[in-house]
Amino acid sequence: MAKVKGAIVIDYEKCKGCVICVAACPTSVIEMAKEVNSKGYNYAYPANIEECTGCNNCAIVCPDGVITVYRAKVEA
């Protein structure tokens, strides 16, 4: 059976670390980095990317539009 798998790319430099995407992700893909970007924000990163379904939720609530989403069908 075909399964949908997703992936996200976050522009770490433009992320302001607001954490809203973390709350929006249904599969707990995103976590906040312990490191900061050059603006001093703890940026969001896809810590558990294997759980991503490519649902877009994180990207559409990101106020700064820094998340790009990909999705592909994979054979189980």
Partner 1 sequence: MLAKDIIKPENLVYQKTKLMTDNVLSYCPGCGHGTAHRITMEVLEEMGIGDETIGVAPVGCSVLAYEFMNIDMQQAAHGRAPAVATGIKRCYPEKFVFTYQGDGDLAAIGTAETIHACNRGENITIIFVNNGIYGMTGGQMAPTTLPGMRSSTSPYGRDVNLMGNPLKMTELVAQLPGTSFVSRQAVHTPKHVRKAKKAIRQAFELQKQKKGTTFVEIVSNCNSGWKMTPVQANQWMEENMFPFYPLGDIKVPE
| Residue 4 Cβ vs partner 1, minimum distance, rounded to whole Å | 10
Which of 33, 61 has the CB closer to partner 1? 61
At a CB cut-off of 8 Å and minimum separation 6, what does 11 contact?
Answer: 66, 67, 68
Contact residues for partner 1 (CB under 8 A)? 5-7, 9, 14, 16-20, 23-24, 41, 46, 49-50, 52, 54, 56-57, 59-72, 74
Alpha carbon dihedral 36, 67, 48, 30, in 10-degree steps, equals: 60
Is the Cβ–Cβ distance between 54 and 67 less than 8 Å? no
| Residue 35 Cβ vs partner 1, minimum distance, rounded to whole Å | 16
